[in-house]
Amino acid sequence: MTSRNPRDSRLRLVGPRPLAAAPRAVTQRRSRRPAPRPPEGTPPPAELAGMARTRLADAARVAHWADAALRPGREGATSDGKGTLSDTTAERAAADLGLTVAQVRADWDTARLAGLVEVHGDSARPGWRLRAWNRDDSAVLRGWVAFFDAWSLAYPEPEDHQHAAVAEVVSAMPQVLSFLQLSAGPVPVEQLLDLLAQRVTELRTERCEIPYVPPVAHHPPYEEALRAAPSDSHPVEAPDQNSVEDTPLAPLLDWALDALAYVGALTCADGQATLTPLGSWAVWVKLEQICVAAQSPAGNIEQNAEDMLRGCAQLRPNAARAEYRAWLAARTVGSAVTELLDAARGEDALLRGLAFEALRVVGAPAEPDVRAAADETPLRPYALLWLAEHDGTDPEDAHEVLTRQEATWLWVDTAAAVADHGEAPLLVRHLESAVQPTVPALLDEVRAVGHPRTVQVLVALAAAHPDPALARAVRRAAFQVHTGGS
């Protein structure tokens, strides 16, 4: 095995309840605490969203063009399963938008990484972030953060370098970024190179399982979170350690800085690197392990199903169920069930789980429509669980009605909801609810299931997981899905 391949780490097996209850777990929160304030000088969210819209404007333009011109889901991509634009489609887009074919393909790739478009087999369709692009600053910021997390996929890897060395640099960059954020100003690239070399050396020490106790006071929280590897982890063998260790880091740092500049996280000039306001804010968010939560709209009962569910997303389960009952009481059963299922068919995985929670409140009158929804791939796991519970199966055992593939699809869908709306630790804990006993088995089946959010989920999990070796394995899997490699 190479250092970029998954360890054969055993996942801690848990009871079936987490899988059956996973969609509702997204809405559960710890006790409330005052929201941390961003560093002084951080622009307000509306201004940050404006910067993100500017950086992703070209990607959004191509995504909107595809939405209007191609009727997404029919002719937008080739049959390679990666959502690559066909030559004919790329040429048509270039002619309509006044761009080159290369620009169209680059913007399309950015749109996929930012979740503006989602690939479904040999077709693509607009993501929920694109639908909310002009009205929801939170959706825009989340799209940019997804692009930021995928910086190593968004920019071509340097040629003639060991993949293991590239992976080490990617794993070490969070410390570099946290140092830039805490510095709050330009930092010489030479200083960053020294820091990178120190972190890479530590990664190699950890990989060799030689005990190493870092001086805690010298390491920021973001880097400390990445250090917290499980004590029962197994060493990963590198294919040619001498050649990896001999790889010069300066060209790889230049590549990483160029890639981060490409996504809009930093700027480089006169031998110095500086985080942009967006980049500084994003790193601060990760340092504080918080997320930009969607605001709950006022007057949930009067809203349509989608807005009502968004409003209930921040409520505890009992309060949400009371809100569902009030919303249902103001509507006929038939129209309410139709609205909820339409919301479940949308691009936001969190709303999909919440919609079926609301349908549990409806009960028996929803059964015919839910049974019909079981024929639709995105809704099938949720519908089967609903039907099993409706038929009297204990919720603890309802998961047994799902096939392995359906359970894996639900795991990825729930992970997408957590990545979009939950905190990083919750995403890491979600790993424990997988039915696969090992990380390699999970990654293999996640790749095979073909969920449209697979790349974004794996990138988010790699960014959040504290075990550097496991994070590398997950990031490698994301790269393979993104490029269609094996």
Q: Please, are residues 257 and 186 in contact by the beta-carbon 8 Å criterion? A: no
Residue 438 confidence (pLDDT): 86
Among 85-89, 120-124, 179-183, 330-334, top mean pLDDT goes to 179-183
Mean pLDDT of the chain: 78
Of 75-84, 177-186, 220-229, which range is least confident? 220-229
Residue 114 has pLDDT above 70, yes or no: yes
Q: How confident is residue 270, by pLDDT bands cut at 50, 70 and 90? A: confident
Q: Six-digit token pair at 409? A: 């699809």
Q: What is the mean pLDDT of residues 268-278?
A: 92
State the Cα–Cα distance between residues 398 and 389, nearest whole angstrom. Answer: 6
State the Cα–Cα distance between residues 1 and 234, nearest whole angstrom. Answer: 12
Q: What is the mean pLDDT of residues 245-260?
A: 87
Residue 436 has pLDDT above 70, yes or no: yes
Q: Six-digit token pair at 233? A: 């982890």
Give, in order, the Cα–Cα distances in Å from 455 to each of 7, 294, 413, 445, 460: 19, 22, 12, 13, 9
Q: How confident is residue 23, by pLDDT bands cut at 50, 70 and 90? A: very low
Report the predicted TM-score, pTM, of the whole model to 2 decimal places: 0.61
Q: How confident is residue 107, by pLDDT bands cut at 50, 70 and 90? A: very high
Q: Which long-range contacts (CB under 8 A, 24 or more apart) does 134-137 make?
A: 136/294, 137/45, 137/46, 137/48, 137/49
Residue 448 has pLDDT above 70, yes or no: yes
Q: Which long-range contacts (CB under 8 A, 24 or more apart) does 155-161 make?
A: 155/255, 155/258, 155/259, 155/262, 155/263, 157/255, 158/251, 158/252, 158/255, 161/247, 161/251, 161/252
State the Cα–Cα distance between residues 282 and 288, nearest whole angstrom. Answer: 10
State the Cα–Cα distance between residues 85 and 100, nearest whole angstrom. Answer: 13
Residue 299 confidence (pLDDT): 55
Higher-scoring residue by pLDDT: 291, 253: 253
Q: How confident is residue 110, by pLDDT bands cut at 50, 70 and 90? A: very high
Residue 158 confidence (pLDDT): 80
Residue 95 has pLDDT above 50, yes or no: yes
* pLDDT tens digit sequence for 119-163: 766 667 787 788 888 888 888 998 999 899 899 988 888 877 778
Residue 120 confidence (pLDDT): 66
Beta carbons within 10 angstroms of residue 211's beta carbon = 6
Of 82-86, 410-414, 446-450, which range is least confident? 82-86
Q: How confident is residue 256, by pLDDT bands cut at 50, 70 and 90? A: very high
Residue 279 has pLDDT above 60, yes or no: yes
State the Cα–Cα distance between residues 376 and 346, nearest whole angstrom. Answer: 12
* pLDDT tens digit sequence for 188-244: 999 999 999 999 888 888 766 444 344 333 333 333 333 333 333 334 344 455 555
Comparing CA positions, the residue from 135, 140, 70 lying closest to residue 111 is 140
Q: Please, are residues 225 and 466 in contact by the beta-carbon 8 Å criterion? A: yes
Of 172-181, 344-353, 421-430, which range is least confident? 421-430
Residue 482 has pLDDT above 70, yes or no: yes
Beta carbons within 10 angstroms of residue 208's beta carbon = 13
Q: How confident is residue 87, by pLDDT bands cut at 50, 70 and 90? A: confident
Comparing CA positions, the residue from 474, 38, 458 lying closest to residue 287 is 38
Locate tokens 């489609």: which residue? Answer: 89
* pLDDT tens digit sequence for 33-76: 455 677 778 899 999 999 999 999 999 999 999 888 775 444 44
State the Cα–Cα distance between residues 291 and 293, nearest whole angstrom. Answer: 6
* pLDDT tens digit sequence for 337-380: 999 999 999 889 999 999 999 999 888 889 889 999 999 999 99
Comparing CA positions, the residue from 118, 106, 114 lying closest to residue 77 is 118
Residue 144 confidence (pLDDT): 93
Q: What is the mean pLDDT of residues 97-116?
A: 91
Give, in order, the Cα–Cα distances in Å from 478 to each of 88, 152, 386: 28, 11, 31
- Angular region, 122: left φ>0, alpha ψ -120 to 50, beta rest: alpha
Higher-scoring residue by pLDDT: 416, 485: 416
Residue 339 confidence (pLDDT): 94
Residue 164 confidence (pLDDT): 83
State the Cα–Cα distance between residues 12 and 396, nearest whole angstrom. Answer: 18
Comparing CA positions, the residue from 357, 353, 334, 341 lying closest to residue 305 is 341
